Structure 1
Amino acid sequence: MNRREFGVALGALPLLSSVVQAVSAAEPSQPPKPKIGMLIYPGMILQDLVGPQTVFSILQADTRLVWKDKNPVATDVGIALSANDTFDTCPAELDVLFVPGGLGGSIACMKDADVIGFVESRGARARYVTSVCTGSLVLAAAGLLRGYQATSHWYVRDLLPLMGATLKAERVVEDRNRLTAGGVTSGIDFGLTLAARLADEDTARRIQLLIEYDPKPPFAAGSPEDAGPALTRDILQRRAPLIASARKEAEMAKERLGI
Structure 2
Amino acid sequence: MDPVTIRIGLLLFPDVTQLDLTGPAEVFGRLPGAEVALLWKTLDPVASDRGMRILPTARFEDCGRLDVLCVPGGPGQIALMEDEETLGFLRRVAPECRLVTSVCTGSLVLGAAGLLTGYRATSHWSSIDQLGLLGAQPVAERVVRDRNRITGAGVTSGIDFALAVVAELAGDEVAQTIQLQLEYDPEPPFRAGSPRSAPAALVAAARETMAPFLARRRAATERAAERLRTLA
Structure 2-normalised TM-score? 0.96
Instruction: Please point out which of 24, 31, 40 is paired with 1:59.
Output: 31
Following TM superposition, by how much is the alpha carbon of 1:85 offset from its aligned partner in structure 2, in angstroms?
Answer: 0.7
1:110 matched to 2:81? The reply is: yes
Shift of 1:239: 1.1
Ranges in structure 2 where 5+ consecutive residues have no aligned partner: none
**Aligned: 1:96 with 2:77:** no
Helix, strand or coil for the counterpart of 1:138?
helix
Match of 1:82 among 55, 63, 67: 55
Q: In the alignment, which residue of structure 1 is the partner of 2:197? A: 226
Structure 1: unaligned runs, 5 residues or longer: 1-28
Q: Secondary structure at the match of 2:190?
A: coil
SS for the counterpart of 1:88 is helix
1: CA distance, partners of 2:197 / 2:157: 16
Match of 2:113 in 1: 142
Q: Which one of 79, 89, 103 corresponds to residue 132 of structure 1?
A: 103
- Structure label with greater radius of gyration: 1
> Offset of 1:189 from its aligned partner?
0.2
- The percent identity for this pair of structures is 51
Match status 1:38 vs 2:4:
no
Per-residue deviation, 1:84: 1.2
Flag as ranges the 4+ runs of structure 1 deviating above 3 A: none
Q: Secondary structure at the match of 1:239?
A: helix
CA distance in 2, matches of 1:140, 1:233: 27
Output the aligned Cα RMSD: 1.1
| Partner secondary structure for residue 202 of structure 1 | helix
Q: CA deviation at 1:30?
A: 2.6
Displacement of 1:76 after TM fit? 2.3
1:67 aligned partner, one-letter code: W
* Structure 2 residue 224 is the aligned partner of structure 1 residue 253: yes
CA distance in 1, matches of 2:181, 2:190: 25
- Please state how far the C-alpha of 1:253 moved relative to its aligned partner: 1.4
Following TM superposition, by how much is the alpha carbon of 1:229 offset from its aligned partner in structure 2, in angstroms? 2.2
Does residue 68 of the first structure (1) align with residue 41 of the second (2)? Answer: yes
- Amino acid paired to 2:143: V
Q: CA deviation at 1:246?
A: 1.2
1:196-225 Cα deviation digits (max 9, x unpaired):
011011110111111111101000000001
Of stretches 149-158 and 31-40 in structure 1, the one that deviates more from structure 2 is 31-40
Match of 1:21?
Answer: none
Rounded to whole Å, the distance in 2 between the matches of 1:251 and 1:112 is: 15
What is the CA distance between 1:240 and its match in structure 2? Answer: 1.1
* Structure that is richer in helix per residue: 1
Aligned residue in 2 for 1:152: 123
**Paired AA for residue 67 in structure 2:** D
Question: In the TM superposition, what whole-angstrom CA distance separates every residue of 1:120-161 from its partner, at most 9, and x where no partner exists?
Answer: 111122110111111111000001110100000000000001
Structure 1 CA distance for aligned equivalents of residues 187 and 161 of structure 2? 18
- Other-structure match for 1:195: 166
| Paired letter, 1:65 | L
Aligned-pair distance for 1:43? 0.4
Residue number in structure 2 paired with 1:239: 210
Q: How many residues align?
A: 229
